[in-house]
Amino acid sequence: MDMFRSRLPKPFDLPKRLMRLGELAYNLWWTWQPEAGRLFGRLDYDLWGRLGHNPIRLLREIGRARLNQAAKDKEYLAIYDRVFEQFDGYLAQANTWADTIHPELDDHPIAYFSMEFGLHETLPIYSGGLGVLAGDHLKESSDLGLPLMGIGFMYAQGYFSQRISEDGWQDALNNPLVFDDLPVLPVTGEDGQPLTIEVEFPDRTVSVRLWEIRVGRVPLYLMDSNVDANQPDDRLLTARLYWSDLDRRVMQEVLLGVGGVRVVRALGYNPSVWHMNEGHAAFLTLERARELVAAGHTFAEAVKKTRRQNVFTTHTPVPAGNDEFPLWLLDKYLAALWPELGLTREEFVNIALHQQPHGETFSMPVLALKLSDGRNAVSELHGEVSRKMWNFLWPESEAADVPITHITNGVHTANWMARRLQNLFAQYLGADWYDHLDDSDLWEKLDQIPDAALWAVRTHLKRKLAFYMRERVRERWTAGGYHPVQVVSSGVLINPYALTIGFARRFATYKRASLALSDVERLLDIINRPNMPVQIIFAGKAHPADEAGKQLIQNVYRTVKKAETGGRLVFLEDYDMDLARYLVQGVDVWMNTPRRPLEASGTSGMKAALNGALNFSVLDGWWRESYNGKNGWAIGEEKEYESDEAQDAADAENLYGTLENEIIPLFYVRDGKEIPAEWLSHVKDSLKTNIPQFSTRRMVKEYVERLYLPALK
Ligand SMILES: *Cc1c(COP(=O)(O)O)cnc(C)c1O
């Protein structure tokens, strides 16, 4: 099967010897190949940084003189040749995991639907963990050779960028994306015209065109309603992620589910697995049933025939993450669908009816759970929580028997691990370590890495983080309108040798970002101890409509700004995948304080762990499965509390105590060579236990073996 449905654009004006850089710029493979990324960076590190690591813009703007110079630079050409040898080998590889272990997947494509995909900072079509997980799923599927394609949206304005005012208030900037500058390629039909599909709403039809992103071997197809044929309002349907306005939201989800199935058909695929990454795509179950009803089956038969191939992953027990719509919205947008399914309105509504205290709703997760045979949560504890939460759909079952399994999340190792660390592993674990990264035995060899070598990489990464923060501040300061106190709050006073703790995530209230600030006096005492300074770096966005989340940011910012913090508390604006990479690679400790058991899984702590940071987190989600008493620290206990206040007080007390008595003293115990040997023994334990287990390598293999293969039967 031909993988890609788009054509590369007119080549860049490049010297012949470097011609293929253009091709590389259009395949995101380069984003998880440190050597490939350096091919662009080495042309002009400064420009590369200023353009936000955008190779297409770099190749356009760099100028012929520098390119001609590179085309004669032996060292550069050696890297170039090595990278393209790898690239060609990768694209043509015939003995991938899928090919050798599961040849039965051949000709059985998997369609993976997600509202967001986090692939790279130049493509702001993600808001947080859900999208980054989807992006990592695609990258790993490519590495494993799975016949998988992604389906989602190409948002014309992308997710917002965040500015923090002097008083800590979040401003949201919406930046129209210039598609021409991005690695998105128009998909054309056999006639050479742009391929479009249509979705009917009661009073009109919405047309959608398609863009393709090449993710290694895997294509990602993105829908875009900004076409001439549509009314002005409809052209905005795919302009932004997660419209808060319910009308737009329901239409978006109809486009994703119903439109997405039509996209797959228009491209000529007949998938054997339809994977819904969260409930936003659940209308796909109805569109697939409609296809069979149109061919003469009853709705019941159609559901019976399609459900085996549907796989649904639930990602959160938090209500805001579980979309549901009031019934009047269904009347407004879906009234044409129930007769096409051979159903009455009542029968239709009953498929996904959810009785809520505030009335009856149509629930997207209920729809997905009821019409799929494959169902999973994203950690062991989240599995338990989900089985209880959805028990009402299986009233005959005990909670333990509710048919929702769990596959714990993972992260794409090469995408998140610092290049220096990858090189260190290649040196001590073997050049092919990446091929065996989910093999625990391999990681036993880690003890052979000398402490000094590991510590040298760790300190290098922390210095890099410090420089990065400084350069970001310089840019903002130079642009004007930045108050000096904001400069100080943005990390310029960071000491690259002091214990540094990272806390970065969406500012949703259940994540309790201000837990560490609940007793400011005590915290100031902790961070300002002579000879044992501690620094905490905060970052994260709140959804623009989430006032409570924005207030949380403001609380944190107001504390960070205080002179008594000595610049040791930092808030970094505009958390995205770029900043995330520097943070998870550079900090010593990754802190996470969700209100148990609402975290579901969490993934940023995994990214930090695989770079040699130690986790310090509530025993929720993935960390509850990883924590072994040596590979990091727990915050609080695994128990239920009478009230949120009681839980917060107990967890805060525990957090401060562990910092004071365990983490800080351990970090500052040094041997004669200034190396914290005991600290590093914990780091090694963390690397050993976390890398093989919490990678998408393990995760995607589990999806294949436990949820995709059963769908083929
Ligand atoms: C990994 C990542 C997340 C998800 O982190 P959690 O720990 O799951 O909250 C969110 N945003 C960005 C930019 C990330 O890289």
Give me the DSSP letters along 85-139. HHHHHHHH-S--HHHHH-GGGTT--EEEEES-----TT-----SHHHHHHHHHHH
Q: pTM here?
A: 0.98
Is 679 a member of any domain? yes
Q: What is the pLDDT of residue 69?
A: 98
For 162, the enclosing helix (H) or strand (E) is strand 161-164
What CA–CA distance (Å, rounded) separates 594 from 591?
Answer: 10
Q: What is the pLDDT of residue 658?
A: 98
Nearest residue CA, atom 2 of ligand 1? Answer: 129
* 3-class DSSP state of 313: strand
Query: Are 64 and 142 contained in the same domain?
Result: no
Query: Are 476 and 402 contained in the same domain?
Result: no
User: For the chain (length 713 residues), average pLDDT per consecutive 10?
Assistant: 79 93 97 95 95 97 96 98 97 96 96 98 96 98 98 96 96 94 94 93 94 98 97 96 92 98 96 98 98 98 98 92 93 94 97 92 97 98 97 97 98 97 97 96 96 98 97 94 94 96 94 93 96 97 94 97 96 97 98 94 98 98 98 93 93 97 98 96 98 98 98 91
What CA–CA distance (Å, rounded) separates 572 from 585?
Answer: 15
Query: Are 469 and 610 contained in the same domain?
Result: yes
- Residues with Cβ within 6 A of ligand 1? 128-129, 132, 505, 575-577, 580, 602-605, 607
Range(s) of the domain holding residue 62:
2-92
Which of 293, 291, 300, 348 lies closest to 325 in space, CA to CA?
Answer: 348
Is 104 a member of any domain? no
Q: Are 417 and 457 in contact (CB under 8 A)?
A: no
Q: How far is the CA of 202 from the centre of ligand 1 (A)?
A: 38
Query: Are 75 and 148 contained in the same domain?
Result: no
Query: Are 346 and 402 contained in the same domain?
Result: yes
Burial of 407-439, coded b for 16+ CB within 10 Å and e otherwise, reads bbbbbbbbbbbbbbbbebbeebbeeebbeebbe
Q: Are 435 and 95 in contact (CB under 8 A)?
A: no
Query: Are 644 and 690 contained in the same domain?
Result: yes
Which of 415, 541, 378, 418 lies closest to 135 in space, CA to CA?
Answer: 415
Q: Which of 123, 137, 318, 603 to mutate to test the pocket of ligand 1 (most atoms within 8 A of CB)?
A: 603
Is 342 a member of any domain? yes
Q: What is the pLDDT of residue 1?
A: 45
Query: Are 208 and 148 contained in the same domain?
Result: yes
Q: Are 171 and 165 in contact (CB under 8 A)?
A: yes
Nearest residue CA, atom 9 of ligand 1? Answer: 505
**Non-local CB neighbours of 712 within 8 Å, separated by 6+ positions:** 104, 105, 108, 272, 273
Q: What is the pLDDT of residue 2?
A: 62
Q: Are 534 and 527 in contact (CB under 8 A)?
A: yes
Nearest residue CA, atom 3 of ligand 1? Answer: 129
Q: Which of 408, 505, 584 to mutate to test the pocket of ligand 1 (most atoms within 8 A of CB)?
A: 505
Is 414 a member of any domain? no
Query: Are 364 and 384 contained in the same domain?
Result: yes
The total domain count for the chain is 3
Query: Are 593 and 553 contained in the same domain?
Result: yes
